[in-house]
Amino acid sequence: MRQVFQESYMSKTLCVEEVPAPLLRGTGVLVQTAASLISPGTERAAVSFARKGIIAKVLSQPERVQLLLRKMKQVGVIDTLQLARRKLENPIPLGYSAAGVVREVSPDMPGIRPGDRVACAGAQFANHAEVLYIPKNLCVPIPDGLSFEEASFVAPGSIALHGVRQAQIGLGETVLIIGLGLIGQLTAQLVRAHGGIPIGIDLDESRLSLARELGMTHALKRSHPGLSEAILKLTGGLGADQVLITAATPSQDPIILAGELCRERGKVVVVGDVGLNVPRSVYYRKELSVIISRSYGPGRYDEQYETHGQDYPASYVRWTERDNMATFLKLAAEGQLNLKPLIDHRIPIADAAQAYDILTNPEIRPQPLGIVLTYPQPQASLTPAEDRMLWLSSQTPNTVAVPSTDTLGISVIGAGNFLTGTLLPLLQPLTRQQPPLQLRGLVSASGLSTKNAARQGNFAFCATDVNAIWADATTQAVLIATRHDSHAGLLTQALAAGRHVFVEKPLATHRDGLKACIQAMQSAPKMQVMVGYNRRFAPLSIALNQALNRGSKEANPNADQSSDKDSNKTAMAVPLSIRYRVLAGHIPEDSWVHQHGGRIVGELCHFVDWCQFITGEKPVQVNAQSAGDGLNPDVNIQLAFSGGSVAQINYWMRLDAGTAATLGKERIEVNAPGLWAELDDFKQLRLAQGGKITTQKLSKQDKGHAAELRAWAESLRRGTPAIPVESLLLTSETTFAILDALQSQSQVTIDLNRYGY
């Protein structure tokens, strides 16, 4: 399918390219797009930002500069700049308001069937593309009599409607609208439909004329002589009951003007992106209410509502985002809104670059309000599976040769920031070594980001359907780098398909998932499984292990590890004492991390694994206490190991993320007879032994990601695991035991017998 996107924030190029079509997932629909609306404010800003020079970009986002400086301190200047550049080079999908025909419906999607006409919203979903996946709450039926072009106004229409609702307009009240762009024109019509009397103000005479054509009785230019007196006269000497600011400008003028023209104890509702240095004197003297209107309405920015389809009870939230979308279309279909005069241009998707040239050309007057992209007539057939896969090289399914015995074909599932920013650059050197890795397919939900990452990594193909990997005979192993809750399911699929697996931590987010993983491993004993516990492969971890002389086979990733169940035994029986302090920092409670296994299962597993590695022993018991409530408490854990070693893990989440990064995230102390060690954030190792202190210091932080991937590739060639399977299972079970200990406030025994292992 074709999709429109800005090539990157570093490029001025506007692209229309083939990308894999989306796969139906979750509760939602697949839509064959018939029309999509270019938002003149939001999209002009995105494209204009991309066309700025690098200095102008930096000056416009000073808060991001501070983040970069903190990151430089942590991982080094070069790595930070490379990471920032990769992010700036990501493609930018455009569009968030569209309409089309439903082609496929999830079984639990109520009220919509294939063939229905629908309107769609959402910047992550309703892009300018021929096929769209739209979750349940971002999709509404189009009423009879309304065209696809008119229905494509659904997102800006809902934004305008939510602003009007926030104003709480009473019958006959006067409403001043500052800014008569697209949102302003829609707002004026909605105010009238609400029984209010709209008065418009704008800098551009053409927009004032359009507002008058659409029924606005009073529309005044900002430079109108005696503007304040004119507004007072129109409002019976009171001033406007409500002021809706729908302009888009960094200037403070709209917020100042709103205060001057609003009546005492009136409301000022800010809908547009304007300067908000509120002049206290006039707002205090008039006791004005200032309300910031947030996009489409309740549900916006709520992942559970927008992505997962969890609605709010109408008795508590009457007008949700989806309700506003449906109401806007209903008003338009009933003739209370006139949308056709707002369409300035109709341009085929193939010529989308022309549309953005019109949008961003300051010499074109009047500036366009509504540019609609049109699409080929929707087809009656479902989106074919082959549209979800795109070959990026000269190889095709008919020309792919079976790799030689010393070549490893690797495919990847997931194209998020960790894969593209950390793992993918480290996989590249492995494709050039002898014998090489061969990067086959990259699969992710977003066709655009998948294609971009696959092209950067020189993959043979990209896809949005994981079945493309199982169908590729050249893929021998799979690297899974998706969100945590999908790991167990994808691992079991991969093993059933006869592929070796590297899965980013955690292995599973709950015990049922871990049980499924164990059963899948037992059913495919020849397939290797590795989890991304990179810290044990860090160079300073290896150095510490050697200094302790634990005798574990894990100390050498290339050692023969033929017996998993005995591989944690050590040559020395001397117990260790470990204190592992982690300044994890606070993560917002609406983050996906909390929804998919939580932070103890999702990150603390790293530190459990490292303690296993450094002791060479099995965790057998756990105690845990927490300080603080909610999803970000401080957690203190005590682990007992099979050889008598003990570890205390202090996982502190209440500290703000900036302070945590400044102080250094991780610090580990290890004590053994005659030896004390301190590992500081995987940048420095201090050893005290025999009255002497030695220090090993790296030029930059190295948490072992590169060595981990090398060890995995070598383990596949060797046929023995890089990390013992039992150790992987014990790490997951230990995190579940920590949760049990926190809940029961008692000691919990760690045992894999419950899984029949």
Q: DSSP letters of 193-218? A: HTT-EEEEEES-HHHHHHHHHTT-SE
The CA dihedral of 51, 55, 60, 64, to the nearest 10 degrees, is 110
Supply 129's token pair. Answer: 């593309």
CB 578 within 8 A of CB 614: yes
φ, ψ dihedrals at 514, nearest 5° = -65, -40
Task: Give bridge partners of residue 18 from the DSSP assignment.
Answer: 2
Q: How far apart are CA 347 and CA 18, in angstroms?
A: 18
CB 50 within 8 A of CB 44: no
Tell me if residue 64 falls in helix, strand or coil.
Answer: helix
- Residue 663: what pLDDT? 84
Question: Which regions in the chain score pLDDT beneath 50?
Answer: 380-383, 398-403, 551-572
Q: Which CATH architecture has domain 534-705+719-755?
A: 2-Layer Sandwich (3.30)
> Which residue in 296, 293, 43, 300 sits closest to 181, CA to CA?
43
Question: Regarding the domain with residue range 387-397+404-531, which homologous superfamily does it belong to in the CATH classification?
Answer: NAD(P)-binding Rossmann-like Domain (3.40.50.720)
Q: How far apart are CA 576 and CA 545, in angstroms?
A: 12
CB 175 within 8 A of CB 193: no
Tell me if residue 526 falls in helix, strand or coil.
Answer: coil
Q: Is the omega angle on the peptide bond into residue 110 within 30 degrees of 0, that is, cis?
A: no
Task: Give bridge partners of residue 33 from the DSSP assignment.
Answer: 100
Q: Which CATH architecture has domain 2-153+303-374?
A: Alpha-Beta Complex (3.90)
Task: Give bridge partners of residue 412 from the DSSP assignment.
Answer: 442, 479
Q: What is the DSSP letter of 667?
A: E
- Domain pair 2-153+303-374 / 534-705+719-755, same fold: no
Over residues 191-204, the pLDDT tens digits come to 999 999 999 999 99
- Residue 72: what pLDDT? 61
φ, ψ dihedrals at 432, nearest 5° = -105, -5
- Residue 64: what pLDDT? 60
Q: Which CATH architecture has domain 166-292?
A: 3-Layer(aba) Sandwich (3.40)
Q: How far apart are CA 457 and CA 445, in angstroms?
A: 17
Q: How far apart are CA 353 and CA 185, in angstroms?
A: 26
Over residues 652-701, the pLDDT tens digits come to 999 887 787 778 899 999 999 999 999 999 999 999 998 899 999 999 99
Amino acid in position 595: Q
- Number of CB atoms found within 10 A of residue 360's CB: 18
**Please, where are the H alpha helices in 24-125?**
42-50, 54-60, 62-75, 77-88
Per-residue DSSP letters for 520-547?
A: HHHH-TTS-EEE--GGGGSHHHHHHHHH
Backbone conformation region of residue 712, classed left if phi is above 0, alpha if psi is from -120 to 50, else beta: alpha
Angle (deg, nearest 10), helices 253-261 and 227-234: 40
Task: Show me where the domains of the chain are located.
Answer: 2-153+303-374, 166-292, 387-397+404-531, 534-705+719-755
Chain centroid to CA 666: 25
CA angle 569, 705, 650 (to 5 degrees): 65
